[in-house]
Amino acid sequence: MSNATHRDSAPASPSAPGAPSPRPVPSLSRRTWLAGSAGLLAAWPGALRGADEPSASPLLTYESPQTQTWKIGLILESGRTHCGNVLATFPIPTEWPEQTVRLVDQEVDAYISGWKPRVLPGGVKQVMLAMNQVPPGSEVKLLLTFEIDRSRILGPEQTAGLEIPRRISGDLRFAMGNSPYIDASHPRIKAVARELMATPAETPWAQVERTYDWVREQIEYTEGKLKSASDALSDGKGDCEEMTSLFVALCRNQRVPARMVWIPGHCYPEFYLTGPDDEGAWFPCQPAGTRQFGRMDEYRPVLQKGDRFQVPELKAPQRYVAEFFTCKKLRGSGGEPDPHFVRELIDG
């Protein structure tokens, strides 16, 4: 499998090729932030869940959970730079029907003036942190340790009653239309979708499975530079990102909501169908790798679900919510600071 996240989760900066320029960051004050970290460990479970916590679907079965421990955060080495007005963000895992998350430890250095969680539209959760000043020669850490229980997903035994949603509700609109690198409106993609629908399938499930098998048969797995779904279609080549993007684009053209799922070193799609009483579920599948349709034998934690996010610090919609860092170099500074974002499996 390709390292799916290294192409999208590098810290964005104006000097990175193709990276959007960050918006000017306003001055930060202690009032803008939670004062210190006291008591946040105990309060964190609510931040991980929130009011929009997804519920498990009766159409799917979750079994055989395994636990992994991950350390996630930021280590800033200021070097010869006197840093001021530091703002950094990094995404953190959150709750999904197949996954539970517990914050079990934290390391927060004194130079960090404040930090707190933030939820973006679409469900991604980040940690925001601020530092008023960091002197030259300093090393500053904010490291969080999470225990993550991830379960296998088994598909439904009966699929004949599953239907394409009759109405695209607000929370499903994120899974329709175009997204970065998912150019669902491209004429070549729309033409393939029409061909796939030309012969009626017995059921909507069979229709989506036909699309899944078409992508696996037509796209040769080849690692390379990130490209759009339409370019992967033209080339007939792509890795897990391109194969997932193309499947998602073709589903959306058939009125089936679909989205990307990001895990360490890999990604795969989910598609949405409804069952009795219009109760819906997100069904996983894996275009790149072993054939898994409607189920997922995967224990790596879910980092994010989705492929079109609006991040306040960046102008353009983001395919994956990456880490972000900016600071003001105060008078007398030399060199550049080195922000090192950590996402490390430490047990499991």
Q: Is the pLDDT of residue 263 over 60?
A: yes
If one compares 11 and 194, the residue with the highest pLDDT of the two is: 194
Q: What is the pLDDT of residue 171?
A: 83
Per cent of the chain over pLDDT 90 is: 76
- 300-309 tens-digit pLDDT: 999 999 999 9
What residue has token string 């992967």? 232
Say yes or no to pLDDT of 7 above 90: no
Residues 165, 273: contact at Cβ < 8 Å?
yes
Q: Identify the pLDDT of residue 333.
A: 82
4 pLDDT exceeds 50?
no
CA atoms of 167 and 184, how far apart (whole Å): 19
How far apart (Å, rounded) are the C-alpha atoms in residues 189 and 192? 5
Share of the chain above pLDDT 70, in %: 84
pLDDT band at 57 (very low <50, low <70, confident <90, very high): confident
Could you tell me the two tokens for 270?
Answer: 């989910």
pLDDT tens for residues 124-175? 999 999 999 999 999 999 999 999 999 999 999 899 999 999 988 888 999 9
Q: Given this model, what pLDDT does residue 48 score?
A: 58
Q: How far apart are CA 131 and CA 46, in angstroms?
A: 25
Give the up-direction half-sphere exposure of residue 286: CA atoms within 13 A in the CB hemisphere.
Answer: 15
Residue 337, classed as helix, strand or coil, is coil
Whether the CB-CB separation of 264 and 348 falls below 8 Å is answered with no
CA angle (132, 335, 139) in 5-degree steps: 50
| Average predicted confidence (pLDDT) for the chain | 87
Strands 237-238 and 220-221: parallel
Question: For 66-75, 160-169, 173-182, 266-275, which range has the lowest pLDDT when averaged over its residues?
Answer: 160-169
Q: Which two tokens stand for residue 288?
A: 């790149």
| pLDDT over 80 at 17, yes or no | no
Residue type, 317: P
pLDDT at 279: 87
Residue 5 burial (10 A CB sphere; 0-12, 13-18, 19+): buried
Do 219 and 238 contact (CB within 8 A), yes or no? Answer: yes
- Residue 321 pLDDT more than 90? yes
Whether the predicted pLDDT of 106 surpasses 50: yes
- How far from each other are the two terminal CA atoms of the chain, in whole angstroms? 20
- Residue 30 pLDDT: 39
Give the largest CA-CA distance in the chain. Answer: 71
Question: Domains of the chain: which residue ranges?
Answer: 30-152+309-347, 159-294
Q: So what's the pLDDT on residue 240?
A: 97
Q: In CATH, what class is 159-294?
A: alpha beta
At 298, is the pLDDT very low, low, confident or very high (cuts 50, 70, 90)? Answer: very high
User: Strands, DSSP E only, in 249-347?
Assistant: 258-263, 266-274, 280-286, 292-293, 304-305, 324-329, 338-347
The pLDDT of residue 45: 55
Question: Are 243 and 215 a contacting pair, CB within 8 Å?
Answer: yes
pLDDT at 21 > cutoff 70:
no
Q: What is the pTM assigned to this prediction?
A: 0.86
Task: Pick 118 or 331 by higher pLDDT.
Answer: 118
- Category of 85 on φ-ψ map: left (φ > 0), alpha (ψ -120 to 50) or beta: left
